[in-house]
Amino acid sequence: MFGSSSIYAPAQDKLLFLLSQTHTLQEKGDYLFAAKLFKLIQSRTKDSTIIADALYGYVTCGDRAAEAFTVRHYTSESFHEMNSDSTWRAQLDSILQLDITNFAEVGIQLKIITHFETYCVNVDTSTRQLLSKNFSSTQFGELATFDLITDEVKSDGYPVFNDPHEVIKRATAFLTRYPSSTYKYDVFHILGRAFQDLWEFSRGSYADMLTEKEQANPEELRQEAIKYLKLAKANRKKLLKLEWDVTSEDVLNKLKNKEDTNGYFYFGD
């Protein structure tokens, strides 16, 4: 309920109330309407915190819609496998394309791409960069900066080629910029994974991607990976973005035993 008191509230209070309601809409899955409201809110204020909140809400509406549309695409594919009725398939596909068009009208570009598998992605490449650069003192600028450590896409929707060195560079820069961040344990987890990638390079066909120093002392990479993964494990209840799961535990144990982990977290096209 809106409540009669909001009628008499100052303009800023009304905007904050609208922002709260918009977050509720986002949580309920009404991503398109929420994105429109977030965009409206950020255009109606000069308060940097409200602008940053609305911008982060706006871009994450696109992210969540893309996740939902990925599931919808697979559902449509599954239906087609069960039933060869092409009319139904066409109707389901047209609904998805219409929704993608509606998001584009709000400025959110969603694309269905095939990269190892088929999925929908939000190809926004600027909003998080804007938040990280111009709103770094807000919690939403911090969140955007965290997201950019590993999650970047090109304008065509395909992921940026991830080099563990770049992930380590961005993760280290994040910790320097936000030394007291509540996400620091997640960043430790990321660093542990990235160093394990480099150590795995030293044991396989990608050794030439290591620096001369790393090639000369790959054991240091293993020790760095163990150090950061142990920090993440010891503080696993404080992890907010990344879960300490079976894979993390398995990788840590294999690193301790100098065994091949047979995989990469941040390496690939």
Same domain, 105 and 171: no
**Domain membership flag for residue 143:** yes
Amino acid at 266: Y
- Is the domain of 172 the same as that of 135? no
To 5 degrees, how large is the angle CA 234–CA 235–CA 237?
A: 125
Instruction: Dump pLDDT digits (tens) for 147-182.
Output: 999 877 776 766 666 689 999 999 999 999 999 999
> Pick from 95, 116, 150: which residue ends a domain?
150
Task: Give the tokens for residue 10.
Answer: 């100052």
Residue 70 sits in the same domain as residue 180: no
- Residue 168 shares a structural domain with residue 139: no
Shared domain check, 216 and 238? yes
Q: Is residue 15 one of the residues assigned to a domain?
A: yes
For residue 80, the model assigns a pLDDT of: 63
Last residue of a domain, one of 150, 172, 203: 150
Q: Mapped to the 3 state alphabet, what secondary structure does 99-120 carry?
A: HHHHHHHCCCCEEEEEECEEEE
Does 23 map to a domain? yes
Domain containing 207: what range? 164-256
Instruction: Residue count of the chain, please give it.
Output: 269
Ranges of the chain with pLDDT below 70: 1-9, 79-86, 115, 155, 157-162, 268-269
Residue 264 lies in a domain: no
The residue assigned the tokens 């563990």 is 164
**Tokens in use for 131?**
């938040």
| Residue from 218, 217, 189 nearest 201 by CA | 218
pLDDT of residue 8: 41
- Note whether 252 and 194 are same-domain residues: yes
- pLDDT for the residue numbered 196: 96
Picking from 97, 124, 150, the residue at the C-terminal end of a domain is 150
**Which residues sit opposite 112 in a β-bridge?**
120
Task: Give the pLDDT of residue 5.
Answer: 43
The distance of Cα 162 from the centroid of its chain, to the nearest Å, equals: 14
Mark whether 134 and 231 lie in a shared domain. Answer: no
For residue 137, give both structure tokens. Answer: 């003192």
Query: What is the C-alpha to C-alpha distance for residues 88 and 105, in angstroms, rounded to an integer?
Result: 26
Whether residues 119 and 225 share a domain: the answer is: no
Shared domain for 11 and 89, answered yes or no, is yes
DSSP 156: T
Q: How many domains does the chain have?
A: 2
203 and 92 housed in the same domain:
no
Q: What is the pLDDT of residues 173-223, one digit of tens each?
A: 999 999 999 999 999 999 999 999 999 999 887 888 999 999 999 999 999
- Any domain includes 40: yes
pTM reported for the whole predicted model:
0.87
What type of residue sits at position 3?
Answer: G
Q: In the structure encoding, which two tokens stand for residue 63, read together? A: 């992210």
Is residue 238 domain-shared with residue 121, that is, in the same domain? Answer: no
- Distant-in-sequence, close-in-space partners of 35: CB < 8 Å, separation ≥ 6: 57, 58, 61, 62, 65, 103, 106, 108
Report yes or no on 156 lying in a domain. no
Q: Please check whether residues 119 and 193 belong to one and the same domain.
A: no
Q: Is residue 59 part of a domain?
A: yes
Residue 267 counted as domain residue: no
Q: Say how many C-beta atoms besides its own lie within 10 A of residue 188's C-beta.
A: 24
- Let me know: does 211 contact 220? Beta carbons within 8 Å: no
